[in-house]
Amino acid sequence: MGKIIDMKDDNDAIDPQRRAFLGVAAGVTAAVTVAPGVLLHTVDAAPRAEPVTSDVRWGLLIDTAKCVDGCSACVDACHHENGLNLQTMPAEQAVKKWETQKPAWVRKVKLQDNQTGRMTTLPLMCQHCDDPPCVDVCPTGASFKRADGIVMVDRHLCIGCRYCMMACPYKARSFIHGDVHGQLTSVPRGKGCVESCNLCVQRRDFGQESTACVDACAAEGHHAIVFGDLKDPDSTICKLLNEMPSRQLREDLVLNTGVRYSGV
Amino acid sequence: MAKSVLTVGLVALGLVWALAQTAQADDMKRYVVAGSQAAKLESCVEPTELMRRQHMEFIKHQRIATVHEGIRIEKYSLSGCVDCHISYNAEQIPQPINQADQFCGACHAFAAVNLNCFDCHAAVPNGTPLDAAAMAAHDAAGVAAQVQSHRDGENH
């Protein structure tokens, strides 16, 4: 009897081991079901030939001390890289509504400490949680976490319910309300789907080094964003995380985010 | 009498329309970019008969591998369709492949099947990291500059 009560008490906490077991069980089932009919072919070329693995976990480290107020290089670069600038305000829509609803994968956010008056400015995008709430709530499996830690949306499966937008504590996702024309080949996107930062997944799969926002920030000479593999102890990002104090935003939610901030 | 004349007239009109559609689909179904990878091949990535009936199944399975596993070298690829089957007008501007007189659009119009791929996917080669073979083909056809110039989508 006592044992049952103990178990009930544990129910509130997320048990990562149970999750891991379920994940492995699902994986094994899938492998057994799929393997006989599937033949993965391998070619040595620049584009990715093998499925992504969890040997890497991509992440960002943002040094807010280097982030400049009024600079929007990362936001502009993101828009250009992913074709977010293809959408314009619909003629019938109010400006205020458009400003709050237009697609934004990365936003510049200003924080003020009310007691000291200290201002901090930082770029806020999908935090690529290890335990993403958006994936938990998605009713169709469209919101998913890739093996390399990138949280993204499979637009083929997204039904546009926007539950994930409600679940995200970072307000990192946006919804496409209108028709899109002239999409980029590498970033298909269209009406009725939720979208968010995917750490430039098209760059990841073609073996490029960094993300559009990182490149833009470096080009401005600020170097406030560092991209890298959180699982590689020799990577620049890991060395920096080792040296300087950094935080997860809303660390009270225990999401183990892939994007870390220093100076907040 | 008038009614039967009208009926015959409508049927004839319908037949002419169907013939025109067939002719257009017939015209388009063999179209490939001169010098592209596809132009040198007897058939597409699978025998033609199989492609006509099964192409949607092929890309449906490929999309899982690409989106969820990040595999970008699958044999089947929607951007691959566009790379080889896109056509250019006199000014060397690529024509959206889902237009009713283009490769995908003509056949889908004939078969009366909705074509939703290009609601999200690019219907012209647009800023894609073209592989070397496709790049060479577009170079040879004298259209590479146009493909690149649409990188930021501002010309649309």
pLDDT in tens, A184-198: 999 999 999 999 999
B153: left (phi over 0), alpha (psi -120 to 50) or beta: left
The whole-number pLDDT of residue A143 equals 97
d(CA B104, CA B123): 10
Residue with tokens 């499996």: A141
Give the one of A85, A184, A201 whose C-beta lies nearest to B127's C-beta: A184
Q: Given a cut of 50, is residue B155 above it in pLDDT?
A: no
Q: How many CB atoms within 10 Å of residue B132?
A: 9
The answer, yes or no, to whether residue B87 has pLDDT greater than 50, is yes
**A246 with A237: CB under 8 angstroms?**
no
Domain extents in chain A: 69-86+95-262
Strand intervals (E) in B19-74: none
What are the structural domain ranges in chain B?
A: 18-149
* pTM summary value: 0.75
On chain A, the residues whose CB falls within 8 A of the CB of B97 are none
Residue B144 has pLDDT above 80, yes or no: no
Taking an 8 Å cut-off on Cβ atoms, the answer to whether A186 and B67 are in contact is: no
The residue among A160 and B148 whose pLDDT is bigger is A160
Which tokens hold the place of A249?
């935003």
Cα B73 to Cα A55, A157, B4, distances in angstroms: 21, 22, 58
Q: Are strands A259-262 and A58-63 parallel, antiparallel or unpaired?
A: parallel
- B65, B67, B128 member nearest A185 (Cβ): B128
- A175, A78, A188: which is closest to B121 by C-alpha? A188
Helices B103-111 and B2-29, axial angle in degrees (round to 10):
150
Give yes or no for A165 touching B (CB within 8 A). no
Of A35-44, A56-65, B127-136, least confident by mean pLDDT is A35-44
The per-residue pLDDT for B19 is: 66
Confidence (pLDDT) at B5: 74
Find chain A residues with C-beta within 8 A of B73's C-beta: 43, 45, 47-49
The answer to whether A34 contacts chain B (CB < 8 Å) is no
B139 pLDDT more than 80: no
Quote the percentage of chain B above a pLDDT of 90. Answer: 35
CB contact under 8 A, B70 and A189: no
Structure tokens at A161: 């319910």
pLDDT tens by residue, A27-47: 555 554 444 433 333 333 479
Q: Is the pLDDT of residue A3 over 80?
A: no
Check CB contact under 8 Å for B71 and A51. Answer: yes
Can you give the pLDDT at residue A37?
38
Q: What is the mean pLDDT of residues B124-149?
A: 57
Q: Largest alpha-carbon pair distance within chain A? A: 66
Q: Which residues of B touch A58 (CB under 8 A)?
A: none
Please tell me the distance from the alpha carbon of residue A65 to that of residue A263, in angstroms, as a whole number: 6
Mean pLDDT computed over A148-166:
97
CB pairs under 8 A between A and B: 84
What is the crossing angle of helices B78-85 and B132-140, to 10°?
20
Say whether pLDDT at B147 is over 50. Answer: no
pLDDT in tens, A87-138: 888 888 899 999 999 999 999 999 999 999 999 999 999 999 999 999 999 9
Q: Rounded CA gap, A60 and B79, in Å?
A: 30
The counts of H helices and E strands in chain A are: 9, 9
Of the listed ranges A74-83, B103-112, B119-128, the one predicted with least confidence? B119-128
Q: Band the pLDDT of A7: cuts 50, 70, 90.
A: very low
Which of the residue ranges B23-32, B61-70, B94-103 would you say has the lowest mean pLDDT? B23-32
pLDDT at residue B138 greater than cutoff 70: no
Higher pLDDT, A66 or B3: A66
Q: What would the mean pLDDT of B126-142 be, rounded to a whole number?
A: 58
Residue A75 pLDDT class (50, 70, 90 cuts): very high
Question: How large a percentage of chain A has pLDDT more than 70?
Answer: 83
For residue B128, the chain A residues in CB contact (below 8 A) are: 184-186
Is the CB of residue B29 less than 8 Å away from at least one CB of chain A? no
The verdict on B119 touching A (C-beta cutoff 8 Å) is yes
pLDDT higher than 70, residue A10: no
> Cβ separation of A186 and B68 shorter than 8 Å?
no
What is the fold of A69-86+95-262?
Alpha-Beta Plaits (3.30.70)
